[in-house]
Amino acid sequence: MTIQRTLTIIKPDAVGKNAVGEIIHRFELAGFKIVAMRMERLKKDRAEGFYHVHSDKPFFDELVEFMTSGPCVPMVLEKENAIEDLRALIGVTDSKKAATGTIRQNFGTDIQCNAVHASDSVENARFEVNYFFPDIKV
């Protein structure tokens, strides 16, 4: 199994719930190393650029509004099999359907306000890490 890096974002809903520390603790307990991290309030064009693959989806405008509604915490995490393992730890997109004990089940509300984002492939991890942390190698 190879060491991978992946991008996660603790989203504005989770930041608003004071859940940043608890979510980071979950990442660390699961064996992820924090390679980079900062708090940032996304501007509209930054959120649109990050989610450009969803620009034709009906939820795009609401998604951008949500992601710009308050500060978020983008982070680069590292671990063996990081991409798949992080997605298992956070649970499926819809917080209402996420498995018991997952981060989205514990801290998210619905399909949009789902507490965290995580890269879903090696290719997207490369784009997403570079989008927020151009100095970090993937």
Annotated catalytic, 117? yes
- How many residues bind ligand CMP (CB under 6 A)? The answer is 8
What is the side-by-side order of every strand in the sheet holding 3-10?
33-37, 73-80, 3-10, 116-118
Q: Which residues, in sequence order, are CB contacts of 101 under 8 Å at separation 6+?
A: none
Structure-derived torsion over alpha carbons of residues 9, 78, 133, 108, reported in degrees to the nearest 10: 0
Residues of span 24-53 touching ligand CMP by CB under 6 A: none
Stretch that binds ligand CMP, among 36-44, 80-88, 107-115, 128-136 (CB under 6 A): 107-115
Q: State yes or no: residue 59 binds ligand CMP (CB under 6 A).
A: yes
Q: Which residues contact ligand CMP (rule: CB under 6 A)?
A: 54, 59, 63, 93, 111-112, 114, 117
Catalytic positions are: 117
